[in-house]
């Protein structure tokens, strides 16, 4: 703002000059209790579902698939403990590289669909990865839909929506959320069928020459599949942000996501880089805060019980405490793990929060849409018909009710 009298610069509209500063708000929104609970419950349900699917496929003859199941979904791998182990028991600077929320969440949630396109994948493995992908998609349809809707309204209108409004939106739009990422995969499947048929010709030397002549056509099909999968790889978080912000359907979400990714790729990468930096700093704070809560609780209790007793309770084995005491120690560790699970929920909450903010920025860059525009359902509005028009004794037009 410039003073009109002497031309003195009195204020700078930083949000207009650097609109990406909206990403600063994502951390505060991501650590909301509702966001953390939704994210923690969703990732726990996702891992439990993957473990159940892995148990069903544990007897497969596919050695590569069996090894992957043993590493990620075997009965020995407890989803609860896997998540809780991501947060240390004591605060401090991490010895291993810091977790990048954007990369980690994106890689984990898209892992089943990426597994379907691995080299040498068998029919059994493809079915396994497909089921895992559909389960994750079903779980996050509701969780991510609620998070992105809440964040979209907060960013655009700075208003809070209650659980009831969020749930009604999720129930009304869940089909669009679920179907949007599947349309590109359906396109890849349709392109695969004719290429599969031509691939049969590769089995013999004579027919191989026939396949060689039409191989450029197959390359065009491969180009189409690569474009579809590239747009899906980078654009699937934007699809759900689109539905939450615009109240639209799967087709509009698909077209907007692909348009934003391919029309503004450098902008998109810049926003991802900035959001990832904020996310790393946020994860350091959240994980150390949760570890501090747990550590200080144990520390205060140790003054009454003694440090050796606290160490016995913190240990995973319960032999020294006996059956009854071991059960009590397990309950204490359960509550400590609940705090850790909420902290892990931040990783996924921040991913969807940042994705919504990035969608707002890309929408502004491509469509020149203001940041404060968001779809809101009509509430309390109805249509009212005009009363019938009649005439009075002098022939003047009046409403019939008034004429009576």
C-alpha pair distances (Å), 126 with each of 81, 129, 139: 28, 5, 20
Residue 381 pLDDT: 42
149 within some domain: yes
Within-domain flag for 378? no
Long-range contact pairs involving 116-120 (C-beta distance under 8 Å, separation at least 24): 117/229, 120/64
pLDDT band at 382 (very low <50, low <70, confident <90, very high): very low
Structure confidence at residue 380 (pLDDT): 41
Mean pLDDT of the chain: 82
Kindly state whether residue 385 falls inside one of the protein's structural domains: no
Distance set, CA 240 to CA 74, 210, 244, 317 (Å): 31, 44, 6, 43
Residue 94 is assigned to a structural domain of this protein? no
Mean pLDDT of 298-326: 75
In-domain check, residue 286:
yes
Question: In 3D, which of 264, 247, 234 has the Cα closest to residue 368?
Answer: 264
- Residue scoring higher pLDDT (75 or 294): 294
Tally of domains within the chain: 1
Looking at residue 243, its pLDDT comes to: 94
Give, as one character, the DSSP assignment of residue 180.
Answer: T
Residue 149's pLDDT is what? Answer: 94
Dump pLDDT digits (tens) for 172-181.
899 999 999 9
Residue with more model confidence, 402 or 58: 58
Residue 124 domain-assigned (yes or no): yes
Helix (H, G, I), strand (E, B) or coil at 199: helix
* pLDDT at 7 exceeding the cut of 60: no
Residue 336 lies in a domain: yes
Check whether 400 has a pLDDT greater than 70: no
Q: What is the pLDDT of residues 117-154, one digit of tens each?
A: 877 778 888 888 899 999 999 999 999 999 999 999 99
- Is 135 domain-assigned? yes
Q: How far is residue 359 from each of residues 74, 114, 239, 241, 393, measured CA to CA in Å?
A: 37, 23, 9, 7, 63
Tokens of 199: 């691939």
Quote the pLDDT of residue 384: 45
Distance of alpha carbon 139 from alpha carbon 145, whole angstroms: 10
Which pLDDT band holds residue 258 (cuts at 50, 70, 90)?
A: very high
Q: Which domain holds residue 135?
A: 32-84+100-367
334 pLDDT more than 80: yes
Task: Name 116's Cβ contacts closer than 8 Å, sequence gap at least 6.
Answer: 126, 129, 130, 133
pLDDT (0 to 100) of residue 17: 66
Cβ proximity of 84 and 287 under 8 Å: no
pLDDT at 165: 87
């Amino acid at each position: 703002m410039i003073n009109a009298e002497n031309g003195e610069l009195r204020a700078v509209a930083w949000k207009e000059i650097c609109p990406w500063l909206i990403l600063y708000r994502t951390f505060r929104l991501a650590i909301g209790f509702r966001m953390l609970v939704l994210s923690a419950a969703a990732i726990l349900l996702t891992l439990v579902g993957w473990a159940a699917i892995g148990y069903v496929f544990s007897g497969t003859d596919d050695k590569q698939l069996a090894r992957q199941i043993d590493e990620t979904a075997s009965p020995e791998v407890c989803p609860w403990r896997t998540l809780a182990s991501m947060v240390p028991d004591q605060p401090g600077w991490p010895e291993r590289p810091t977790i990048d929320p954007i990369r980690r969440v994106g890689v984990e949630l898209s892992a089943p669909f990426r597994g379907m396109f691995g080299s040498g994948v068998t029919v059994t493995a493809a079915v396994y990865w497909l089921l895992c992908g559909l389960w994750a998609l079903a779980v996050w349809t509701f969780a991510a839909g609620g998070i992105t809707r809440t964040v979209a309204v907060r960013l655009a209108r700075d208003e809070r929506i209650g659980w009831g409004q969020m749930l009604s939106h999720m129930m009304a739009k869940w089909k669009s959320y679920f179907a949007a990422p599947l349309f590109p995969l359906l396109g890849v499947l349709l392109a695969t069928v004719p290429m599969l048929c031509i691939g049969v010709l590769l089995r013999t030397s004579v027919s191989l020459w026939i396949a060689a002549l039409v191989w450029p056509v197959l390359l065009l099909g491969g180009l189409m599949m690569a474009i579809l999968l590239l747009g899906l790889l980078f654009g699937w978080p934007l699809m759900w942000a689109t539905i939450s912000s615009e109240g639209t359907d799967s087709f509009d979400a698909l077209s907007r996501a692909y348009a934003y990714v391919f029309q503004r790729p450098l902008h998109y990468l810049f926003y991802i880089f900035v959001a990832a930096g904020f996310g790393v700093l946020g994860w350091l704070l959240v994980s150390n805060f949760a570890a501090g809560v747990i550590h200080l609780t144990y520390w205060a209790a140790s003054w009454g019980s003694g440090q050796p007793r606290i160490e016995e309770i913190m240990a995973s084995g319960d032999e020294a405490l006996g059956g009854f005491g071991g059960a009590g120690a397990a309950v204490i560790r359960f509550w400590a793990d609940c705090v850790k699970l909420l902290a892990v929920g931040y990783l996924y909450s921040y991913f969807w929060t940042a994705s919504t903010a990035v969608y707002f920025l890309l929408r502004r860059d491509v469509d020149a849409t203001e940041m404060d525009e968001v779809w809101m359902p009509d509430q309390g509005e109805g249509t009212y018909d005009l009363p019938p028009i009649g005439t009075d004794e002098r022939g003047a037009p009046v409403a019939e009710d008034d004429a009576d």
